[in-house]
Structure 1
Amino acid sequence: MPTTPVTESGDRSHGVMAVESVAQLSTVLEDTDPTLDPALGRIARQAAAEGVVLLRNDGRVLPLAHATVAVFGRVQLDWFAVGYGSGGDVKVPYVWNLVAGLRDAGVAVDGELAELYRRWCSEHPPELTGTWGQWPHHFPEMPLSAEVAAAAATRAEVAVVVIGRAAGEARDSLREPGSFELTAAERTMLDTVTAAFARTVVVLDAGNVMDLSWIADYGHRISGVLYAWQGGMEGARAVAAVLAGEIPASGKLTDTIAWSYDDYPSSANFGGRDVNVYAEDIFVGYRYFETFAPDRVQFPFGFGLGYTDFEIDPRVVQADDVAIEFSIGVRNVGTAPGKETVQVYATAPGVALSQPARVLAAFHKTGLLAPGESERVTLRVLFDELASYDDAGATGHPHAWVLEAGDYLFHVGTDVRSAATVATVTRDALRVVRQVSEAAAPVHDFSRMRVDRDDEGRARVGWEPVPRATVDRKGRIASELPPATAVTGDLGIRLDDVDEGTATLDAFVAQLDVTELADLARGDVTMHSPLGAAGNAGVLGGVTASLRDKGIRPVTTTDGPSGIRLSAYASLLPSGTALASTWNLPLVTELTALHGQEMIRKGSDVLLSPGMNIHRDPLCGRNFEYFSEDPLVTGRMAAAVVRGVQSQGVAACPKHFAANNQETNRTRNDSRVSERALREIYLRGFELCVREARPLALMTSYNQVNGVWAHYHHDLVTVILRGEWGYEGCVITDWWMEDATDPDFPALANNAYRVRAQVDVLMPGGVKTDDGPQAYADDTIVQSVAVPGGLTVGELQRGARNVLGLVRALRPVIDARTQERVG
C-alpha cells in the first residue's frame, strides 16, 4: 500500500542505531520498547539463522571457530534489516549490525579494520531518501586499497566480505550494477580482498535474488558464500551465529538461482508498464529449469549446505490409489550437529497436458541431530494434490482437475536436483479429481509455453495458443444474486445478542439501513484512524456512531508482514523469504504466535500478513515479503503464519490476491495468465492457506488479472475463493482502488462494482483521485441501490455478514483491550 513512512528516515538501520551488545540492548529497550517479550527476540533470531542459506563452504572454512576475521564492506555496519515499504517500515526498537553480532558470538574481529569502516561510514552516511519508491538499492562502497587489505591479512586468517541489496514496495530491482548486479566498487573490493587472503567468505545481505555468476570468476579464492535473507532486528546477529557455528547452517533456497537474468523464463515478459504476459505458463522457477534448462542453474531450488553430512534412507511404506507414504531415515554421519530438510518431488506422466520434470510434493525439516543421531520422517503425498488443471479440454475434461493415466515418479532428496527416484506408481486410467467451471480466463490472445520433444525424447520449449474466456459472466452473476432479508429498522438487537445466542445474525443485519450497510463496506476513510491505535493502517467495522451503538466494534488493521507498523515501537521480524528458507513450519508458527501476542499488546486486531505472491521473477521488488517460486512452500508457510497469529485470537490477512508479481505501475498493470497457470501456480498457495488455516481476512491486489482489477474480480473472489474453496471470511481491498464501471452492469461503478464481486471492504475507505487519496467516502453504493439494475440490498447484507464475522471473531480481544484501558 502506498503510505508515508511512520519511522524516521535518514539514519542507519531505518532510523535506529544498531546495538553493539546484549548489555546495551537491555538499556535500549528501556527507552524504546520495554514490553518486548524476550522470547520473541530469541525465536526471531533462531528463525533468521535457520533461514540463512550456505551456498559454498570449500575446505570447511565455516564455521569460523577460533579464526580472527577481517570484515570488509560497509554493510557490516549499514545492515539491510528489511526491504522497503509498508511490509518492513516498522518503528523497530533496535537492529544489530554484523560486527556487533560477530563479537557477540565470540568471534575475534580485526579491530583496526573495523574502526576504519566505522569512521568512514560515520562520515559517509547512507542517503535514505524519504521519497516514496526512490529508496537506494545499495549504499556506495568505501574505496579499498591493496595496502589496507594486505595489512588486514597480517592480522586475520579469514576475510568476510559483506554485500547488501534492498528493494521493496513500488521499488523493483533493476538489471544494473548496484541492484541485480555488482557495482564496480564491489568488484574491486572482491578482487582486492581475495588477492590478499587465502580464505574469503562472502555474506549476501539481501531480500531478493541477485546475480551470483561472479562467484565462479574467483574459483577457490572465495571459500564460503552465505545468502543472508533480510532477517529483521535480529538478522545480523543471527548471521553471525551461523558464521561462528553457534547455530548450524540449515537454510534451503526457495528459489532457483540461475547463471544469468536472461535464463529466467519470465525475463522477456517482466517490467512492462501496462501488460505482463505470463508466457512461461506453469513453468515458473525450477519447473522450467529442471524441464528445459538444467545446465543454466547455478544453485538449484531446495539447495543449502550445512556443517555436517547426512545420510538419507527413503522407504515406501504404502502406495495405493489415494496416496503414497514414505518413511525417510535421516542420519547425521558428520562431526557436528545439524538439521536437514527432506524433500519429495513428483513427476506426472504428461500425456495430454504438459508437465514439469519435477514438482515439490512434500517436505519436512528434522530437529537438531547430534553426530550419529537419527530421525525418521513420515511424509504422505495425496494423489489428488498432484492433479493438474485442464483449461483447454485436452484430456476430454475441460475446466477440471485431473490425474492422467500413466507412471507417476517420486524422488526423495535434499534439493530438486539431487533427489533420487525411489518409487513409481502407475495409474491405469484418468481420474477427474474435481470438476469446476471456467473462471478468470484470459480475454486476450497470447502463446504459452508447453513441452515438445525432440527425436530422442528430450524436452524442448514449444508454444501453443492460450485458451480464452468463453463464460457468460453477466448470466453467471445474475443467476447467483443473493435474496434480501426484509429491512426491519432498529429493533434494539445488538451484535452482542447474536454472540450470546438470543438473536440471529440475519435479524441483526435486517436492522441495518442502506447507509449503514454502505458504511460497513468501507473503512474509516483514512489511515491513522482515531478509532484505532496511533499509526494504524486503517479501521473497519464500527466506523460510525450508529454502527457502534449496535455493538459493532471498530477493528484496527496494521501493516505487515515483517512487523506491526504503528507509531509505537514494534518488533521487526525476518522477511518472508527468510522464514520460508527455514523450511521449518513449527518454528514459523511459534514465532508468529508470539507476534500475535505482541499485536494484542500494541492494539492491532488484523495484521496485513502474510505476503504470499509467487517469486515469478527475481526483479520483483516485494519478493522479500513473499516466500518462494513454489506454491506448495508458499501455501504451507502462509498457513503456518496464519495459524500462529490466529492462535492468539487476532486475525491474519494474507495478500495480495492475486498474481501481484511486479511493483512497476502495479495499480495499472494487467497480469495476463492462462487459467491453468493461474490456478496451479498463482492461486495454489492461497488455496492451501485458506483450506488449511482459515484466515479471517484476505486482501486483494492492485493489479488487473486478465483485464479485470482484482478488487472487482467476481471470478476470483466469488467463483473461486468463496465458491470453490468455501472461504467465509472478510475480503478487503489493498489501500484505495481504481475507478471503473462494471462492463455487464453499467449501473454499478466503483464501490458498487466491488461489492458485487464480494470484496467486502474498501480500505482505508476514502476516494482515490488524480490528486491522490482524499479524506472522504463516496456514495456510489447508496446511489447504485436506488437505480434500476443497481446493487441489491441482498448483496450489501451478504457483505455485511462477512464483515461481522470478522468483528465477532475479534470481539474477545477488542473487549479485553477496552476493559484494560478503562481499568
Structure 2
Amino acid sequence: MSKIGVPIEGFSDFSRQVAAEGAVLLKNDDHTLPLKPAEKVAVFGRIQYDYYRSGTGSGGSVNVLYTTNLIDSLLEDKTVTIDEEVLEAYQTFIKKQPFDDGGGAWAAEPWFQEEMPLMDTFVQQASERNDKAIIVIGRTAGEDQDNRAEKGSYYLTDKEDRMIRLVTTYFDRVVVVLNTSNIIDLSFVESYDPSSVIYTWHGGMEGGRAAVDVLVGHVTPSGKLPDTIAYQLTDYPSSQHFGSDVQNHYVEDIYVGYRYFETFCPDKVRYPFGFGLSYTTFEVNPKPFQYDATHQQFRFSVTVTNTGDVSGKETIQLYVESPQGTLGQPAKRLVGFMKTRLLAPDETETLEIKLSLHQLTSYDDSGVTGFLSSDVLEAGDYLFHIGTSVRDTDIVYDENKQPYHLRQTIQVRQAEEALKPVTPFKRMKPGKRRADGTYDCLLEPVPLRQQDINKRITDRLPEALSFKDTTYTLQDVLNKKITLDDFIRQLTDEDLAILVRGEGMVSPLVTPGTASAFGGVSDRLLSLGIPVGCTADGPSGIRMDSGEKATQVPIGTLLASTFNPDLIEALYRYEGKELIQNEIDLLLGPGINIHRHPLNGRNFEYFSEDPYLTGIMAIANVQGIRKEGAHAVAKHFACNSQEQSRNQVDAVVSERALREVYVKGFEMAVKEADLMGIMTAYNPVNGHFSASNYDLNTTILREDWGFRGIVMTDWWAHMNDPVNQGVPSRAHTDHMIRSQNDLYMVVNNYGAETNRAGDNTLKGLQEGTVTRGELQRSAKNICRVLLELPVMTRKQVFRDDSGLIPSQSGVVNHPLLTTQPLAVSNETITTFNVNETKAYRMYVTYTSTGDALSQSAMTIKLNDQVVATAQANGMNEIAIKQKLPKVTLEQGTYTLSFDVQKAGIYVKEMIFIPVD
C-alpha cells in the first residue's frame, strides 16, 4: 500500500521542538515572561487565530493535515486563564472579516490581515480583569512578493499601532509576539515600551504550540538573531540599491548586516546580530586560545554556567577582528559558534570551538596585497572575540596574553579571476579609524573583469566521446560492468537533447503534484535504464499540488535563530525520511541566499545576513536529508536578493563580495556536505544570467570547489550568451549547456521528447554554439547523480495510468463523446455516461492568470477520486491543451469535478480519447 501523503510519525512533534528553540526574546522587563500558572491573560490581535505558518510561494505551499494557532494552543495548554470577553470579540470579528488569502492565487495573499478596531473602554475593562496582555502581530511575504516600506508590511498599520498604544496604556505588563517572516519596524518598542517582545517567526504547522511552549515557560528561549535589527530601514547599507528593475549595485560589498554596522555605525543598531535573551542567566568564562605547531588549527575553550533559576541553553559566538591591511576588513566577522546542551541551574558545560586558519582568509580581487585572485592573510594582529552576541564579547588571547600575530602577508590559496563585474561602480571600504574604534566609510572603484571569457571557454571545451552503438543500461554502470563514459557514448544527439530537459510541474511520471521529473523522460532513455527522478519544492516541507499531505517545518530564518546545527540536521533527517516515503529524490532546498536587505520577500526561505551561519545551517540541512537516502538542492545560485523583477535585475557585485559573502554558503555545503544538487537563480550576475553563467557554474562551482553534482535552472528560467550576454530567452539551452548548467526546468509534461519548449540545443550543435562534448558532459553530470539517488534502486511506478475508476448510479446529463469535448469550468460538476468499459487518454484545455512565473494548480476528480493534477504558470489567458494520464472507465455514470489547490487556473474543456 502506498504511503504517499502519509506524514512521518514524530516529525511534527520534533518540528515543534525546533520552532520553540528558534524563538528570539528581545525584551523581558520585570520577568513578564514566562506567563505564570493561573495568571489571567487577555490576547489581542487577530493573528492569534490567523497564525502564519510560513511565507508564500513555492517555499510555503505545503498541504498539511492540520495547523496550529496561538490562541487555541493557549487554551489547550491551560497554564493561564484566557479572558473570554476579548476572546469572543475576536471570534465575532473574524466571522465578519475572514482571513484574506487574496483568492488563493500566486503572490496574491496580502502582507497583513485587517485588524479589529479597539475602543479605550474595551481595553481598559480588560485590563481590570487580567494580569497581563499578549499582542500578536503577523506578516507574510514570499516568492514574487517583496515586502514594502509601507504600513501593513515593514511598518505597522494604523490599527496595529493603536492596538499596541491602547494595550500598553492600560496594562502594566504586555507581551508583543511577532509572528512574521521577516524583521519589521520595531519603533513601537521605544514609543510604547511593552514589557516583552519576542520573535516567534513562522514556525510551520506546529508554530502555534511552539510559541505557547515558550510563552508559558515549558521551553526557555534560546534563539539568537540571525540578522541585525536597525533603528531605521534606511540604515541598511543596501537600501539605496534595492528594488531596481534593471541593476542592483552591491555598493556595500562585504559589509552586509553587522559587518557594516559594527564597522561604521554601531549607534544605528536597535538589536545586534546574535542577540537573544533567556529566562535564566549564564556566566561565560573563556580560556586562552591554543593552536597547533603548524598554526593551522586553533582551539577555543569556554565554560558556561547556568547562574539562574531555570534550565536553559546558551550560544557562544566567536568573532575575528582581522588587521585592516590594504584590503580593508569588517570590525568583526563570525567564524565559529557552539550551543550548550540544556543546563540545569548551577550546571556547567565546557565548549570547545575549533577554527582553521583558512577561515580567517580574505579574497584579494585587486592585487593590492601582491597576491591577485587569492585567499590571503594580511600581516598584523588577529583579535578573537568570544561572547553571546556580536556586541557582548570579550577579547581572548593566547597563553602568553597575546593576539595571534602574522609577521608578513601570506598567500593561502591561489585561485583564478572569475565573474568580475563589467559595469564600473564603487564599493565601501574602511578609512581612518575613529577614536571610538569605528571607521570612516570610503568608496573605492571595484576591480573589473580582465580575463577573456571566450578564450577561457574554448580552451576548456571537453573532448567529445566517440559514438558507439551499444545497448548498455545505467544499471550496468551501477554494477560496475562498464564505465559511465561507455554508457554516455551510445547516446545520440537527440538523446542528449532530451536528457537535459525536465518535465513538469505535476508530472504524472513521478509522485503526484511534485515539481518535476527528469532523466528517463523518453521511451528511448527509459529503455537504456535511465530512471525518472523526482524533485519537490521545499525547503520548509514537501509541496504536492495533488493535495497530498506533508509536514511543514519552520522557516529558514527561524532555523538559523536556533544556532543549533545538530538540531537542524536531526530535523532534516525526518525530512529525508518523508522524502523517501513519498518517492521523492531531491528536495528543492535549502535556500541559502543572504539576507542582504530586510524587504526581500523570500528572506524567510533563507537563513541569515551572515555567510558563515548560512553555510553551517546549509550543511546541517543537506547532511540530514542525505543520511536518510534522499538529497538536497541548494538554491538560488546566486545573489537572489529581491523578488521584484527577479528574472531580469542584474546583480552587479565585486568578485570579493561574491566569494566571501554571496556564494560562501554554497561553497561550504559543497565542500563539507558533498552537496549533489544546485539550482541557479533567475537573475543575471554581472551581466550573465545565472542559468548560463560560465564562471558561476563551471569556473567557481566545479573547477574551484570540485562540485560533482547536477545544476538545474529555476523553473522557466532565461539564459543568455555566456560570452556576449545578448538577449535572454528560455530557448537558449545551448548557452545553458555551455555554462554547465545541466538541466532545464521545465518543459510541459510529455514534452521533453517532442521538444515542446522549443529549445535550441540541436540547432546549437549545428551552428557550433554548443558541442557534443559539452552535451555529454552535462549528461554525465545528470547520470552520475541519478546513480546516487533513491530512484536508482527502488521499483519505479509510473503514474501515467490512473487505473479503473468505478462508475456510479445517477442521472446522466451528458453522454461521453470522443469527438466532442466536455464543456466544463472550474465551477462545473459535469455528469456523463459511459456506454462500454474502455481505457481513455485524458486531455484538458485551460487558461491561467498571473505573470510568467506564477503557479496555479488543480486536481481533476472522477466520482470524487483524484485522477490527475493540472498545473499552469501565467499565460496571459492563452488557452493551453495538456495531456493527462490514462484512465479506465467502466459502463455507467461518472461525475467530473475540479479541486483548485492554488487559484488562477481556469478549465475550458476536457476530452477523453479511447486508447487502443
| C-alpha distance 46-549 of structure 1, shift in aligned 2 (>3 A) | same
Equivalent AA in structure 2 for residue 655 of structure 1 = K
The equivalent residue for 1:93 is: 65
2:281 is aligned, of 285, 304, 309, to: 309
Equivalent AA in structure 1 for residue 233 of structure 2 = Y
The equivalent residue for 1:761 is: 743
What CA distance in whole angstroms lies between the structure 2 residues aligned with 1:70 and 1:38?
A: 35
Pairing 1:128–2:101 present: yes
Pairing 1:538–2:509 present: no
Pairing 1:421–2:399 present: no
Equivalent AA in structure 2 for residue 119 of structure 1 = T
The equivalent residue for 1:606 is: 586
Q: Which moved more, 1:103-112 or 1:615-624?
A: 103-112
**CA-based RMSD:** 2.0
Deviation at 1:814, TM superposition (A): 5.5
What CA distance in whole angstroms lies between the structure 1 residues aligned with 2:63 and 2:701?
A: 34
2:668 is aligned, of 682, 688, 698, to: 688
The equivalent residue for 2:32 is: 61
SS of the residue aligned with 1:735?
coil
What CA distance in whole angstroms lies between the structure 2 residues aligned with 1:742 and 1:163?
A: 46
What CA distance in whole angstroms lies between the structure 1 residues aligned with 2:256 and 2:218?
A: 36
Equivalent AA in structure 2 for residue 385 of structure 1 = Q
2:114 is aligned, of 140, 144, 154, to: 140
What CA distance in whole angstroms lies between the structure 1 residues aligned with 2:434 and 2:338?
A: 39
The equivalent residue for 2:432 is: 453
What CA distance in whole angstroms lies between the structure 2 residues aligned with 1:745 and 1:737?
A: 15
What CA distance in whole angstroms lies between the structure 2 residues aligned with 1:61 and 1:191?
A: 18
1:278 is aligned, of 242, 245, 250, to: 250
1:337 is aligned, of 311, 317, 323, to: 311
Deviations 1:399-428 (A, max 9, x none): 111000100000000000011111211111
Pairing 1:118–2:118 present: no
1:227 is aligned, of 199, 212, 227, to: 199
Equivalent AA in structure 2 for residue 216 of structure 1 = E
| C-alpha distance 225-811 of structure 1, shift in aligned 2 (>3 A) | closer
What CA distance in whole angstroms lies between the structure 1 residues aligned with 2:434 and 2:111?
A: 46
Pairing 1:805–2:784 present: yes
Equivalent AA in structure 1 for residue 268 of structure 2 = R
Deviations 1:473-506 (A, max 9, x none): 01111110011111112x1211111111111111
What CA distance in whole angstroms lies between the structure 1 residues aligned with 2:782 and 2:377?
A: 38
* Structure 1 unmatched ranges of 5 or more: 1-31, 768-773
The equivalent residue for 1:23 is: none
Q: Which has the higher helix share?
A: 1
What CA distance in whole angstroms lies between the structure 2 residues aligned with 1:121 and 1:806?
A: 50
Pairing 1:214–2:194 present: no
What CA distance in whole angstroms lies between the structure 2 residues aligned with 1:332 and 1:820?
A: 56
The equivalent residue for 1:21 is: none
Conserved? CA contact 2:6–2:550, under 8 Å: no
Deviation at 1:195, TM superposition (A): 1.4
Equivalent AA in structure 2 for residue 432 of structure 1 = Q
SS of the residue aligned with 2:637?
coil
Pairing 1:479–2:451 present: no
The equivalent residue for 1:172 is: 146
Deviation at 1:392, TM superposition (A): 0.7
Aligned pairs (5 A) from 1:773-792: 776-787=756-767, 789-792=768-771
Equivalent AA in structure 2 for residue 410 of structure 1 = F
The equivalent residue for 2:422 is: 443
Conserved? CA contact 2:6–2:549, under 8 Å: no
Conserved? CA contact 2:688–2:720, under 8 Å: no
Pairing 1:103–2:82 present: no
| C-alpha distance 688-455 of structure 1, shift in aligned 2 (>3 A) | closer
The equivalent residue for 1:655 is: 635
Deviation at 1:148, TM superposition (A): 1.5
1:488 is aligned, of 458, 468, 476, to: 468
Equivalent AA in structure 2 for residue 804 of structure 1 = C
What CA distance in whole angstroms lies between the structure 2 residues aligned with 1:454 and 1:326?
A: 28
Conserved? CA contact 2:186–2:231, under 8 Å: yes
What CA distance in whole angstroms lies between the structure 1 residues aligned with 2:800 and 2:770?
A: 40
Conserved? CA contact 2:263–2:438, under 8 Å: no
Deviation at 1:820, TM superposition (A): 13
Conserved? CA contact 1:105–1:246, under 8 Å: no
Deviation at 1:352, TM superposition (A): 0.5
Equivalent AA in structure 2 for residue 710 of structure 1 = S
Deviation at 1:682, TM superposition (A): 0.2
Deviation at 1:739, TM superposition (A): 4.9
Pairing 1:71–2:59 present: no
Deviation at 1:212, TM superposition (A): 0.6
The equivalent residue for 2:11 is: 40
Q: Percent identity?
A: 45
The equivalent residue for 1:26 is: none
The equivalent residue for 1:15 is: none
2:376 is aligned, of 376, 398, 402, to: 402
Aligned pairs (5 A) from 1:285-324: 285-320=257-292, 321-324=295-298
Deviation at 1:36, TM superposition (A): 2.3
What CA distance in whole angstroms lies between the structure 2 residues aligned with 1:594 and 1:694?
A: 19
SS of the residue aligned with 2:574?
helix
The equivalent residue for 1:750 is: 732
SS of the residue aligned with 2:636?
coil
The equivalent residue for 1:3 is: none
Deviation at 1:613, TM superposition (A): 0.3
Equivalent AA in structure 1 for residue 465 of structure 2 = T
What CA distance in whole angstroms lies between the structure 2 residues aligned with 1:336 and 1:199?
A: 21
- Greater Cα radius of gyration, structure 1 or 2: 2
Conserved? CA contact 1:649–1:812, under 8 Å: no
Equivalent AA in structure 1 for residue 474 of structure 2 = L
Deviation at 1:600, TM superposition (A): 1.6
Conserved? CA contact 2:46–2:94, under 8 Å: yes
Conserved? CA contact 1:389–1:679, under 8 Å: yes
Deviations 1:256-277 (A, max 9, x none): 0000001111111111111111
| C-alpha distance 148-539 of structure 1, shift in aligned 2 (>3 A) | same
Deviation at 1:744, TM superposition (A): 5.0
Pairing 1:195–2:169 present: yes
Equivalent AA in structure 1 for residue 788 of structure 2 = A
2:485 is aligned, of 491, 494, 506, to: 506
SS of the residue aligned with 2:536?
strand
What CA distance in whole angstroms lies between the structure 2 residues aligned with 1:223 and 1:606?
A: 45
Deviation at 1:631, TM superposition (A): 0.2
What CA distance in whole angstroms lies between the structure 1 residues aligned with 2:715 and 2:301?
A: 47
Equivalent AA in structure 2 for residue 85 of structure 1 = G
The equivalent residue for 1:679 is: 659
Deviations 1:62-102 (A, max 9, x none): 10022221100000001111100000011121110101111
What CA distance in whole angstroms lies between the structure 1 residues aligned with 2:741 and 2:672?
A: 22
Conserved? CA contact 1:553–1:814, under 8 Å: no
Conserved? CA contact 1:745–1:790, under 8 Å: no
TM-score of the pair, normalised by structure 2: 0.83
Deviations 1:430-484 (A, max 9, x none): 1111111111101001110000115757411100111110111011111100111
What CA distance in whole angstroms lies between the structure 1 residues aligned with 2:95 and 2:303?
A: 52
Equivalent AA in structure 2 for residue 764 of structure 1 = V
Conserved? CA contact 2:23–2:561, under 8 Å: yes
Aligned pairs, number: 780
Q: Which has the higher strand share?
A: 2
1:664 is aligned, of 644, 657, 660, to: 644
| C-alpha distance 132-818 of structure 1, shift in aligned 2 (>3 A) | closer
1:724 is aligned, of 695, 698, 704, to: 704
Pairing 1:181–2:160 present: no
The equivalent residue for 2:837 is: none
What CA distance in whole angstroms lies between the structure 2 residues aligned with 1:458 and 1:633?
A: 24
What CA distance in whole angstroms lies between the structure 1 residues aligned with 2:223 and 2:116?
A: 30
Pairing 1:702–2:682 present: yes
What CA distance in whole angstroms lies between the structure 1 residues aligned with 2:170 and 2:9?
A: 41
| C-alpha distance 105-316 of structure 1, shift in aligned 2 (>3 A) | farther
2:219 is aligned, of 244, 247, 250, to: 247
| C-alpha distance 261-805 of structure 1, shift in aligned 2 (>3 A) | same
What CA distance in whole angstroms lies between the structure 2 residues aligned with 1:637 and 1:511?
A: 41
